[in-house]
Structure 1
Amino acid sequence: MSVSGDNRSTPVDSSSDHEVEKVEIQQTEKVLDDADLLNDAFAGENKEHEMGVWEAAKKHPWACLWAFTMCFTIVMESFDMFLNGNFVALGAFQRRYGVPHGDGYVIPTRWQSALFQSGQCGAFVGVFAAGPVTNRLGYRWTTILALVLMNATIFISFFADSLTLLVVGQALEGVPWGFFIANAPAYASEIVPLSLRGACTATLQMSWSIGSIIVAAATYSYNKRDDEWAWRVPLALQWIFPSILSGFDHVWYLEKMLTLFATPDPPLMILLFFAPESPWWLIRRGRKEEALRSIERLGDGSSETAQQSLAMMERTVEIEAQMGGSPTLLDLIKGTDLRRTIITCLMYASQNFAGNLIANQATFFFEQAGISPDKSFQLNLINSCLQFVANALSWFLTPYFGRRTIYLWGTATNVTFLFLLGIIASIPQSNATNYAQAILGIIISFVFAGTLGPISYTIISETSSVRLRALSTGVGRAAYYVAEIPMIYLASQMLNGTGWNLAGKCGYVWGGTAVVCWIMAYFFLPELKDRSYREADILFNRKVPARKFKSTVIDVRENE
């Protein structure tokens, strides 16, 4: 049956697809009293529970494609984040902006921290703006606007002739980063079936690895240059990413290509222009006909299945609508949503406390561990490629192991390696211990990229209510930046030769913080694998303890 002929539909003006709605959903009938709709909703939810991973992937290839496309925007945040970490290890950059230290030069700790922190400060602003803007414009148009802003702000960083201006450029670039990281996990989790949520949201971590690989390859290729192009070429790659430019070492070629391609990232924006809007967002805005078309585009083309999915979404949205009206930031700290917000914030913030910052400054870490600069850049490239492999392996972990299980075991593993890193750095040093520290740094990054990193995004996207998702993912990411900004300073202080110069002894610090993350997750992290959004709502509303989420049975007919 079609929505247009269904008397449950709310009339909408379909001629203005992208016009900002002035009101939230106005229910003309009680959805939860409609027997036909509920029967469709029961059938739709049961189908999602029964569908395996491979079956879901075969039936929803377009949903996977659009989820991956949205997650691909994270490559740009990753690229810039890792780029700053590599700049401080570039000889030409050190000589241009550094101070004499030993036999060479080093970027002062305060400027290292400023370079690392400025983008995060901008992103902090972006994630708070992302929620309200997305609620008004939708995921597609919000992300497209952020891409335009991103490419405009790159000009400042590229033409910067001082550390001050470079820091300003990074801060402004950070604002669209906030939009990307807030929207990508929410959009990906809303357009794919239940069994694919883990793998598709885990792709966010893979996007981080892709960004780091490009940075590692670019900086390795240019680290021997003695002029400003050693860092300007990698900066310019953000404009023409992805392109064949990274395979060339000719400045004149760069200049010619920039005149042709220095425009807002056309391939990604074109793809997102044709992407379907999240049907969950459309239903929340009362645009059910458009939601049905979106579901049909994302699914196997079956009108019956699409109608059942629509009914399932309507039911969940109505259940949540009874808890409150138009979503606001204050709703995140009210009632049971406070618990969900705390979990989201803790998951995001904990990414900074289990060795991830070693990966973000891998090249500089290798140099401080006693590895030569050229070898350090080689190891960084190897490290980035291994992270990509770990991300791919996480696709096979998420469908078969619980989110809670992966997080706890991944954290425990990294705690062990971090303390081992500290111990090796504490004994008399030699060439062997230097490489042992470097290898442990790579292993820690590998474990993070295969467990904690990707599963955190899955947990974040599943924990928030549908009604507050755009706001929740933004505030959660803000918690990440609140934790990361001081930790970046601490990481730079620990590694820098003008600071504490701890090298691998930083493993003691990160090992200790990772233990705290493990303890908090053990007591507060619920298991949401194979749970529909309706079931998650009910479990949180009943205040079920985190360790009992997995064993609690929720009937398909229950609404509260």
Structure 2
Amino acid sequence: MHETDEKAERQTSVYSAQVKVSDFKADAMEAEKSEHDMTVLQAVKAYPMAAFWAFVMSSMIIMESYDVFLANNFLALTVFNEHFGTLQADGSYNIPPSWTSALSCSGQLGALIGVFLAGPLTSRIGYRWATIFGLMLLNAFIFVFYFAESLGVIFAAQILEGIPWGIFIANAPAYCSEIVPIQLRAPCTQMLQMFWAIGSIIVGAVTYSYQSRNDDLAYRLPIALQWMFPTPLAILMFFAPESPWWLVRKGKFEQAAKAVQRLGRKSAVNQNETVAMMRRTIELETSEKSPSYIEMFKATDLRRTLIVAGVYASQNLTGNLIANQAVYFFTQAGIGQQLAFALGLITSALQMIFVMLSWILTTYFGRRDIYLWGSLANFILLIALGIAGSVGVNHASNLAQASLGLIVSVLFTLGPAPASWVIIGETSSIRLRPLTTGFGRAVYYIVEIPCIFLAQYMLNPDGVNLRGQCGYVWGATALVCLVVAWWGLPEMKNRSYREIDILFKRRVPARKWKKTEVGLSEDE
């Protein structure tokens, strides 16, 4: 009876806003130790619904992936070029480089608006409602794209669609990393890259199926198929639990406990201890001020912001643009339209397989090593691509460029790309997470937009027509990213958010994180 009363008293203590950390520290330590002691399989068994809801949230990325690849695939589509392009001397039609670049980056311009909207919106109303709001916006904006009759309207439609994409991409890695235990953070955040590949597979299959049509349905039907995503996902998100970390930040401790209960099995998870762990971590970051963008650039949060922004930015500089423009790259490398679309579909399928392999690598071997070795491999392959593009224009050279372009696109999803999502989800402080992930993604788009213009100019026949020689350019930028990551990227494998906070506050150099110990009882 006494034991029951003591347990009830501790539960009341956890839910009271007035109590100090010392009153529930023992429960917090027990929950953190429990997460550390779990294997990956035990974590899946203890938190099956957390893995499911991370799966649902990650699937939001399908919509951005679908449309990004759709816009780039349209540039290689004969009917689309005939409808919107200009007549060339040889009788073919081509969309000028200025418009190909504009269309390739229009969605990113909208997403840039969306990510800045996502941080304050999510901080105020939570991940669930911010995501549902974005899905309803997307349903409306698809109409503009479908009925567009000019490149200008398509450009505007893509900007509008990009706004909800920004909300999804800012929220997804943060939500996924917050609802799962330590051992599942890598595979659950890496599902984002898997769904990116799935989106490209769907659009590849759709455009490949319709590319032989001679009417405008060749591109309008793939646009219309976007409507199959938002409403079902909105219904699922309505029933999803809110992030318990967000609820604890808002002082809604009992609701947080209910969310934890929905995410894990009652027999394996003690929701009161888990809430205590969250409260303990958040107390380390307590401030009387509301979270703000200015705070991200102060003290140790500046370092965390730079890591998130740097990892996001480098995705555009280590092979990602070739992956996103695979079909267009293949056509400009001298491959026929039908084979180019088939290779694009093969590339996307291989990317999905390699992302699943990356779950094993990052879960058991960490984030830093996988990121660095993957970036090094990309650098070598990009230089090889440049060499293949420099030996002259012939059938063998074309095949070599197409093969290396495919390999770069696929290997990017084994190392740097999936590791990036884990790093992004883990690095920022809990208090500033919605703002930091949103800002980091904004940096991604700010870097990507000029890179898209550069990439299109390098590949377009009316530009400099570098073909495979663009590998030299991206190889140089990949080398810079590799050096910066070696110097500044810490290893956060098997670290709780409390330990990550403490290591940043101690200003431990990135290369020493693996060997630095943080005691279970330490609060700094």
Return the letter of the residue paired with 1:156.
Answer: V
Are 1:91 and 2:78 counterparts? yes
1:133-170 residue CA offsets vs partner (Å, 9 max, x unmatched): 10111000110010000110110000000000010000
Q: Hey, what does 2:280 align to over in structure 1? A: 315
Q: Hey, what does 1:365 align to over in structure 2? A: 329
How far 1:304 sits from its partner (Å)?
6.2
Are 1:405 and 2:369 counterparts? yes
How far 1:33 sits from its partner (Å)?
2.7
Are 1:500 and 2:464 counterparts? yes
Q: Secondary structure at the match of 1:352?
A: coil
Q: Structure 1 vs Structure 2: percent identity of aligned residues? A: 54
Using the alignment, how far apart are the partners of 2:184 and 2:269 within structure 1?
Answer: 21
Using the alignment, how far apart are the partners of 1:488 and 1:318 within structure 2?
Answer: 43
Q: Hey, what does 1:476 align to over in structure 2? A: 440
Q: 1:385 aligns with which of 341, 349, 373?
A: 349
Higher share of residues assigned helix: 2
Task: Tell me, yes or no, if the aligned pair for 1:332 and 1:472 is still in contact at 8 Å.
Answer: yes
Task: Tell me, yes or no, if the aligned pair for 2:118 and 2:166 is still in contact at 8 Å.
Answer: yes
Are 1:462 and 2:450 counterparts? no
Once the two structures are superposed, the pairs formed by residues 53-202 of structure 1 within 5 Å of their partners are: 53-101=40-88, 102-202=90-190
1:479-503 residue CA offsets vs partner (Å, 9 max, x unmatched): 0001000000000000000001111
Using the alignment, how far apart are the partners of 1:436 and 1:288 within structure 2?
Answer: 58
Q: Hey, what does 2:3 align to over in structure 1? A: none
How far 1:5 sits from its partner (Å)?
5.6
Task: Tell me, yes or no, if the aligned pair for 1:156 and 1:169 is still in contact at 8 Å.
Answer: yes
- What stretches of structure 1 of length at least 5 have no aligned partner? 11-26, 242-264
Using the alignment, how far apart are the partners of 2:63 and 2:10 within structure 1?
Answer: 41
Using the alignment, how far apart are the partners of 2:392 and 2:140 within structure 1?
Answer: 50
Q: Hey, what does 1:288 align to over in structure 2? A: 253
Return the letter of the residue paired with 1:88.
Answer: L
Q: Hey, what does 1:244 align to over in structure 2? A: none
Are 1:301 and 2:266 counterparts? yes
Return the letter of the residue paired with 1:296.
Answer: Q
Using the alignment, how far apart are the partners of 2:114 and 2:178 within structure 1?
Answer: 21
Return the letter of the residue paired with 1:158.
Answer: Y
Are 1:6 and 2:12 counterparts? yes
Change (3 A) 1:40 1:166: same
Return the letter of the residue paired with 1:319.
Answer: L
Q: Hey, what does 1:414 align to over in structure 2? A: 378
Task: Tell me, yes or no, if the aligned pair for 1:2 and 1:307 is still in contact at 8 Å.
Answer: no
Using the alignment, how far apart are the partners of 1:240 and 1:218 within structure 2?
Answer: 13
Task: Tell me, yes or no, if the aligned pair for 1:345 and 1:480 is still in contact at 8 Å.
Answer: yes
Q: 2:389 aligns with which of 421, 425, 440?
A: 425
How far 1:117 sits from its partner (Å)?
1.2
Using the alignment, how far apart are the partners of 1:409 and 1:159 within structure 2?
Answer: 46
- What stretches of structure 2 of length at least 5 have no aligned partner? 1-6
Using the alignment, how far apart are the partners of 1:64 and 1:94 within structure 2?
Answer: 43
Q: Hey, what does 1:203 align to over in structure 2? A: 191
Q: Secondary structure at the match of 1:144?
A: helix
Alignment root-mean-square deviation, CA? 1.3
Change (3 A) 1:197 1:273: same
Using the alignment, how far apart are the partners of 2:359 and 2:493 within structure 1?
Answer: 14
Q: Hey, what does 1:330 align to over in structure 2? A: 294
Q: Secondary structure at the match of 1:388?
A: helix
Tell me whether 103-112 or 158-167 shows the greater mean CA deviation.
103-112
Are 1:434 and 2:398 counterparts? yes
Q: 1:270 aligns with which of 195, 214, 235?
A: 235
Q: Hey, what does 2:22 align to over in structure 1? A: 33
How far 1:435 sits from its partner (Å)?
1.1
Q: 2:412 aligns with which of 448, 459, 466?
A: 448
Return the letter of the residue paired with 1:298.
Answer: L
Using the alignment, how far apart are the partners of 2:13 and 2:256 within structure 1?
Answer: 16
Q: Hey, what does 1:511 align to over in structure 2? A: 475
Using the alignment, how far apart are the partners of 2:493 and 2:8 within structure 1?
Answer: 32
Using the alignment, how far apart are the partners of 1:329 and 1:5 within structure 2?
Answer: 35
1:373-423 residue CA offsets vs partner (Å, 9 max, x unmatched): 111111111111111111111111111111110000000001111000110
How far 1:303 sits from its partner (Å)?
8.0
Give the TM-score of the pair, scaled to structure 1.
0.91
Task: Tell me, yes or no, if the aligned pair for 2:14 and 2:272 is still in contact at 8 Å.
Answer: no
Tell me which stretches of 4 or more aligned residues in structure 1 moved more than 6 Å: none
1:4-35 residue CA offsets vs partner (Å, 9 max, x unmatched): 9614424xxxxxxxxxxxxxxxx4222x231x
Task: Tell me, yes or no, if the aligned pair for 1:94 and 1:105 is still in contact at 8 Å.
Answer: yes
Return the letter of the residue paired with 1:167.
Answer: F
Using the alignment, how far apart are the partners of 1:138 and 1:302 within structure 2?
Answer: 28
Q: 1:218 aligns with which of 185, 188, 206?
A: 206
1:174-203 residue CA offsets vs partner (Å, 9 max, x unmatched): 000000000000000000010010010001
